Amino acid sequence: MPSSQAAVDHSATVMDSNPPFFATYKSLFSSRASMNHEAELLAAECDLPLVDLSRLNSKLEAKQCKQDIITAATEWGFFQMVNHGVSNSLLARLRRQQVKMFRQPFKKKVLDFSDDSYRWGTPTATSLKQLSWSEAYHIPVSSANKLARTSTNRCVIEEFSAAMAQLANQLVDTLAEGLGRDGTYIKENCTRNSCYLRLNHYPSCPLPGEVFGLVPHTDSDFLTILCQDTVCGLQLNKAGRWVTVKPNPNALIVNIGDLFQAWSNGLYKSVEHRVMSNPHLERFSVAYFVCPSKETLIQSSALPAIYRKFSFGEYRLQVQQDVRLTGHKVGLTRFLA
């Protein structure tokens, strides 16, 4: 089976100037204390639950396929999908454009999209454990046509976003059905006006035991669909233990976000995850976030409800305040009933 990822030379040379981590976070590095990640760098690899999505088209297998998705969302909060309907050629074209974008000079990356789409590091970090050694383009789906400065970027991002939206709707319907509910509410509120893409690049890092590629967190959305390359780095917290997700070049990864955990009254799990930095290899991934409008209310229909009713805007504001004041996200525990 052909790989869905473009062939990428991952042997990157460490260059402080692109992005300028050492220069910008000089005070953090000068007063650093090792986080002692050495054991975690060697965390055991795991194979996520694997779902063959083509089984949804079979009258004989659709029911079991849906149950496999529901079980994975309940027990793991993560799963991987093959035969998902997103073409290998599209994923390869997107990866080629992504690599080109991130290998530009730093000043050109800042200008690659209009608005403030290009982001890197962690502006709020007050210690190395809060710093993410990564850079990203944060692209609202509704604005991709206006933000992208080249027609090639616009076309591939638009095509990929449409494929992800279709796939996300299929997953939302299945997961809502597992709760005895209808997925219409989520689909009507998670449109191209509120969903977004994040193109990620994790440059090689000379201090892998001291800096994360992406700090531990949960996702503040309903669902995230991730396309990653073949370089290890993604880890999730399974039963209090960090495990490394073994890359599968033919699979897309899905993880449950905070909003689905609240909407399901805790049945589906939004699991803490992170990306470990790598001293030798760079890593690329693309994430599609299924987010609602700020006004959307999140409420479980099950009783007694674990979480109180809240709007997505209220949730995002609380997360931002917690990160600013404490250095980390607190999340759903702020919204217990």
The residue behind tokens 């503040």 is 220
Q: Which amino acid is at 169?
A: N
On whether the CB atoms of residues 205 and 278 are closer than 8 A, the answer is yes
Q: How far is 64 from 17, CA to CA, in rounded Å? A: 51
The 10 Å CB-count burial string (b at 16+, else e) for 248-275 is bebbbbbbbbbbbbbbbbbbbbbbbbbb
Q: Which member of 198, 283, 316, 324 is catalytic?
A: 283
Neighbouring-strand partners of residue 284: 201
283 a catalytic residue: yes
- Give how far Cα 233 sits from Cα of 14, 16, 73, 286, 311, Å: 17, 21, 21, 14, 33
Residues in the chain: 337
Distance (Å, whole) CA 120 – CA 55 = 39
**Strand order of the sheet with strand 252-256?**
50-52, 78-82, 252-256, 223-228, 283-290, 196-202, 135-140, 118-120
Distance, in Å, from the CA atom of 241 to the CA atom of 257, rounded to the nearest integer, reads 19
Active-site annotation, residues: 283
